[in-house]
Structure 1
Amino acid sequence: MDRFWSVLIGYIFGNFLFAMIVGQVFLKINPTEYGSKNPGTANMGAVFGKKWGILTCLGDLLKSLIALFIVYFAFPAHINIAYTGLGLILGHCFPFWNHFKGGKGVAVAAQVAVFYDWKAGFATLLVALVLTAIMQNLTIPPLVFILLFSIFVLTKNTEAGIIFLIITAIMAFTFRKDIVDFIHGDGKKVDILYSLKKKLGIKVQ
């Protein structure tokens, strides 16, 4: 039963889409009507500015952290963290109140991975960051991150590894259109090095 409650708690908290909260409370808009129409960090940042994208990301990280801590204290077995992560991803990507149309779960997955194993979580996130800088793409790096993390966990705990592989599959499903665009060379370019150099006042070509 611990696993069931862990998934349920995760799903309930996952339903709090902070893109919708930020959009409706602060901007008085519905973010699903703008840009890519995805209620997530990337779309909020791209359409309404970095401040709102960061606020959305922080909110999604916070909701995930709260759910994880509740389960951590209520059901101490470490495997329950993975199940909470599964619930969070399901709730975030398929919220029942929004016709099961939600975000893509990148921030949520990152929080869950770091909470489950902070060393492996940060290591795989670093790989994703480097890939993002090289590929100038926001589709493939997050999937590589969660896949690498899942494989690592699988070598330590089969059950947890399978749960994280399911999370990977869910994220791949939410990114399906972006994957097709990337394959056809139509993926959106994001040059994070350009942005960083600009912030530091370094001349860019």
Structure 2
Amino acid sequence: MTGKCVALVIGYFFGNFISAMFVGKYYLHKDPTQYGSHNPGTANVGAVFGKKAGIMTCVGDLLKTLLAIVVVYAIYHSRLLIAYTGLGVVLGHCFPVMNHFRGGKAVAVAALLSVAYDWRAGLLTLLVALFLTAVMQNLTIPPLVFMILFSGYELTKSREAGIVFFVIVAIMAFKFRKDIYDFFTGHGKRVDILYSIKKKLGIKK
């Protein structure tokens, strides 16, 4: 088995650990797929069950991605295989065999993967996504824009890595398909993060 296949398998294995389901079972004692958008991800868990549960879910997703990358890098010391590991984690997160192939949308996974692979480009594109989230008041388009920008940049440096990242974009777009349709038909959910920040700081205007 080649290193790329091993990276994909290891990534998929770690990706199967859906943090939202563990938080739901052992902390909330509820099934997050039965509430809100029914998506086992950070946004839905945080929106329905509160900030603490959302943070726990996000940290879990970040941690499993990091562990998968560390394991593969420790074996092969290959930067390219970080991309393949990330693809495996995304596949496992979005289509987990342990949860009947019903998973999340891999936003947190993609975020950590981008920073692990190329921290400068990763952080810059994440800042773009954060700005778009604040302006558009939407949680669907900014993550996809961030990953498209990151993938396009990496494609100019490594064709193979860039293609792997664009495959991840395609997977995320597929998982976001209903949200994308809702956004372009004017039915997308609005999330005003600036208002939330001002509220926390006690700013009324």
What TM-score does the superposition give when structure 2 sets the normalisation length? Answer: 0.99
Superposed structure 1 runs of 4+ greater than 3 Å apart: none
2:70 maps to amino acid: F
Q: How many residues are aligned here?
A: 204
- Taking only aligned residues, the RMSD between alpha carbons, in angstroms, comes to 0.5
Q: In 2, Cα distance between the equivalents of 1:71 and 1:117? A: 16
Aligned equivalent of 2:111 = 110
> Which residue of structure 2 lines up, in the alignment, with residue 153 of structure 1?
154
Distance 1:125 1:160 in 2: 19
CA–CA distance in structure 2, aligned partners of residues 99 and 120 of structure 1? 34
Helix, strand or coil at the partner of 1:29: coil
Residue equivalent to 1:84: 85
Q: How much has 1:72 moved relative to structure 2?
A: 1.0
**1:173 matched residue in structure 2:** 174
Which stretches in structure 1 are left out of the alignment for 5+ residues?
none
Equivalent-residue separation in structure 2 for 1:82 and 1:133 (angstroms): 28
Shift of 1:43: 0.2
- Aligned mates of 1:175, 1:157 — CA distance in 2: 27
| Cα separation, 2, equivalents of 1:74 and 1:96 | 25
- Tell me what 2:40 maps to: 39
- Give the match's secondary structure for 2:82: helix
Identity of matched residues, % = 65
Question: Match of 2:187?
Answer: 186
For residue 162 of structure 1, give the secondary structure of its aligned residue in structure 2: helix
Matching of residues 46-65 of structure 1 within 5 Å? 46-65=47-66
- Aligned amino acid, residue 2 of structure 1: G
Distance 1:60 1:93 in 2: 12
Q: Distance in 1 between matches of 2:153 and 2:166?
A: 11
Q: Distance in 1 between matches of 2:21 and 2:98?
A: 12
SS in 2 for 1:181: helix
Partners of 1:203 and 1:178 in 2: CA distance: 31
Match of 2:128 in 1: 127
- The separation in 2 between residues aligned to 1:168 and 1:47, in whole angstroms, is 26
